[in-house]
């Protein structure tokens, strides 16, 4: 009796055949971080040099703190003090160009000093 039940089930499985294979999914592409994202925020020495090159007539940078404008942002915002000022009264935005930091708006930053 078991053979009588198994035979129709077997025949129904054979009749169904194989289902078509699912369409291949496109391979995920890896995103490569831009070289500016790997460039660390500048330290006081680096910011001082960048500022001195852009604003040669301004007093030297005494203190500076730089951090990314946002998570993964290519821009860095630096707050700094000039001359003998130990407070972070000024602000400048840096962008990476050719693997080095530069002021994004040097005319405005130099005019404010």
Rounded to two decimals, the pTM is 0.64
Q: What is the pLDDT of residues 13-60, one digit of tens each?
A: 666 666 677 777 776 665 544 545 567 778 999 999 999 999 999 999
For the chain, what is the largest distance between any 2 Cα atoms, rounded to a whole number of angstroms?
103
Q: What is the distance between the alpha carbons of residues 5 and 1, in angstroms, rounded to a whole number?
A: 7
| Rounded alpha-carbon distances, angstroms, from residue 9 to 2, 3, 18, 39, 107 | 11, 10, 16, 66, 83
How far is C-alpha 22 from the chain's CA centre? Answer: 36
Q: What is the distance between the alpha carbons of residues 35 and 76, in angstroms, rounded to a whole number?
A: 14
Q: What is the pLDDT of residues 56-104, one digit of tens each?
A: 999 999 999 999 888 878 899 999 999 998 899 999 999 998 888 999 9
Place of tokens 């930053």: 109
């Amino acid at each position: 009796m078991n053979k009588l039940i198994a035979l129709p089930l077997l025949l129904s499985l054979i009749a169904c055949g194989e289902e078509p294979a699912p369409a291949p999914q496109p391979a995920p592409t890896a995103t490569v971080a831009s070289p500016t994202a790997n460039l660390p925020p500048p330290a006081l020495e680096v910011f001082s040099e960048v500022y001195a090159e852009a604003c040669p007539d301004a007093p030297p940078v005494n203190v500076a703190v730089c951090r990314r404008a946002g998570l993964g942002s290519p821009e860095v915002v630096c707050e700094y003090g000039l001359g003998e000022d130990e407070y972070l009264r000024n602000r400048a935005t840096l962008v990476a160009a050719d693997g080095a930091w530069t002021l994004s708006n040097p005319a405005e930053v130099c005019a404010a000093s």
